[in-house]
Homo-oligomer: A and B are copies of this chain.
Amino acid sequence: MPTTPPAPRWRRRSDARPQELLDAALETFVERGYAATNMDEIARRAGVSKGTLYLYYPGKAELLKAVVRQSLLGNLAEAQTLASAHSGTFRELLNYFLGEFTRRISRTNISGIPKLILAESGNFPEIAQFYFDEVIQRARKLITDILRQGIACGEFRPVDPDYAWRMIVAPLVLGVLWKHTFQPFEPDGLDFDRYLDCQLDMLAHGLVASEVPVGRNTP
């Protein structure tokens, strides 16, 4: 009786491994947090032994950095090219960004990264600094630019852009954190479509100049 050749205990996948390992690491870090995640678990999820993990990434901290960089850099570049190529009103542009962001929150689990950064900012000032410089500062510039231009051309009320940008971002941040923290406790989860509608509605009627504010602008 011819025995079928036994399946090999493992396969060489040196090209696919890095991404597989990053995926497993992201998943585990987001679920458990940095400190409570152990390298054996990440390796196990990637279907690999711990030694292999160390073959591709020199340590736990470096692995975290790789995860963060890899997850964010693509989206950042994309947002920036989109902004520079826009036509139409600034309100439309803003709405588009918020919509796209919300859509991605609800689908991918890259949305776990901000929570991870927050949680570990004290222990990884280097990562926090990276996130501050590369993500937050860019987002700030993107939005304050839109606000300033919109105000200049009379589309928006004259708010303080250096503070107002946070009001725009805040619901997005809250949404992300909610999804990865309290979603499990809610019987019926957050409806991101309604969430977005509500935000756009409230945001617009706080920004749009055509509504004739009540006695505030007295030029």
Chain A interface residues toward B at CB < 8 A = 30-36, 115, 117-123, 125, 128-129, 132, 136, 157, 159-160, 163-164, 166-167, 169-171, 173-175, 177-178, 181-182, 184-185, 194-195, 197-199, 201-208, 210-214, 216
Among residues of B, the one whose C-beta sits closest to the C-beta of A117 is B181
Query: Within 8 Å CB of A195, what residues of B?
Result: 163, 166
* Distance between A160 CB and nearest chain B CB, rounded to angstroms: 5
Given A35-B36, A122-B31, A171-B167, A128 contacting B205 (CB threshold 8 A): no
Q: Is the CB of B32 within 8 A of A123?
A: yes
Q: Is the CB of A213 within 8 A of B214?
A: no
Query: Within 8 Å CB of A169, what residues of B?
Result: 174
Query: Within 8 Å CB of A214, what residues of B?
Result: 208, 210-211
Q: Which of B118, B160, B174 contacts A194 (CB 8 A)?
A: B160
* Distance between A141 CB and nearest chain B CB, rounded to angstroms: 15
Q: Which of B118, B125, B184 contacts A177 (CB 8 A)?
A: B118
Given A166-B195, A167-B199, A203-B206, A185 contacting B128 (CB threshold 8 A): yes
Separation of A19 and B195 alpha carbons in the complex (Å): 41
Q: Is the CB of B33 within 8 A of A181?
A: no
* Distance between A161 CB and nearest chain B CB, rounded to angstroms: 10
Q: Which of B34, B157, B160, B184 contacts A205 (CB 8 A)?
A: B157
A-B contact pairs, 13 of them (CB 8 A): A34-B35, A35-B35, A35-B36, A36-B122, A36-B123, A132-B185, A160-B197, A163-B194, A167-B171, A167-B198, A205-B205, A205-B206, A205-B213
